[in-house]
Amino acid sequence: MALLCGSTSLTFPSTSLSSQFKNATSKSSSFSSFHFSLPNLSLSSSSSLSYSFQTQFPSTNFSLHSQLQEQEPELELEQEEEEEVENDPRFMCVEPEPRFSGPDIWNTTWYPKAADHVNTEKTWYVVDATDKVLGRLASTIAIHIRGKNLATFTPSVDMGAFVIVVNAEKVAVSGKKRTQKVYRRHSGRPGGMTVETFAQLQNRIPERIIEHAVRGMLPKGRLGRRLFTHLKVYKGPEHPHAAQKPIDLPIKDKRIQLVR
């Protein structure tokens, strides 16, 4: 690094090192990948063995300044290429647009949720089960409890009515189901299976027959369990829901009534 300076002073601890330095000045030196011959040095000695010299650099085979000038266009070309790549849409990372939070105006099918349903006062129906066919009566009751008779029916929303069934012990079945149809239940313990015929269960708990039939026609889950509470089955012609002012259940299927 001392050779790159215009004026430099060196101090040698002994005369032997100074002689070695003089011999080294006549040889060629290399620095940072370019070579040049060392110029003639004028040395002056003093009592403290301090030598000072001045150099005049001659023309060399390689110029550092010219090398930097040659590298500048290359750097500019590289920067231009990087800018072109950044602006090229093929290499640009386009983030997707955020989804619109509102309803899709292009989707013509609108599926209402429970929050969209306007809670209105539910209708109460009453039906007399005397000589009514069990399966056909249960399907009609399930339709009105679910609300399938309404134009605004939604499968996931509780929008049906309450149904009151009286004279449950007089419900009818076709064929030989009175003696052949069986109801099974299990206590959960070994040998805890109980089997009853339709006639036996009708004499013991007549309300359970209609409840069992309607429950099987309702959804299996939380909504179905809630809808099942809208069914009120009673033995005999009386019921305690006169304050709700129930109306007759509309029955369009004439086959519900059993003709004897």
Could you please report the per-residue DSSP string of 144-183? HHHTTTSTT--TTS----EEEEE-GGG-B--TTHHHH-EE
Residue 122: predicted pLDDT: 92
User: Could you read off the pLDDT of 56-96 as tens digits, one per residue?
Assistant: 444 444 455 555 566 677 777 787 777 776 677 676 666 66
- Give 113's pLDDT tier (boundaries 50, 70, 90): confident
Q: Smallest Cα–Cα separation from 37: which of 1, 2, 3?
A: 3
Q: Smallest Cα–Cα separation from 216: which of 123, 150, 163, 142?
A: 142
Residue 51: predicted pLDDT: 44
User: Could you read off the pLDDT of 9-41 as tens digits, one per residue?
Assistant: 445 455 555 555 455 554 444 444 444 444 454
User: Could you read off the pLDDT of 233-249 as tens digits, one per residue?
Assistant: 999 999 999 999 999 99
Report the pLDDT averaged over residues 227-237: 97
Residue 171: predicted pLDDT: 97
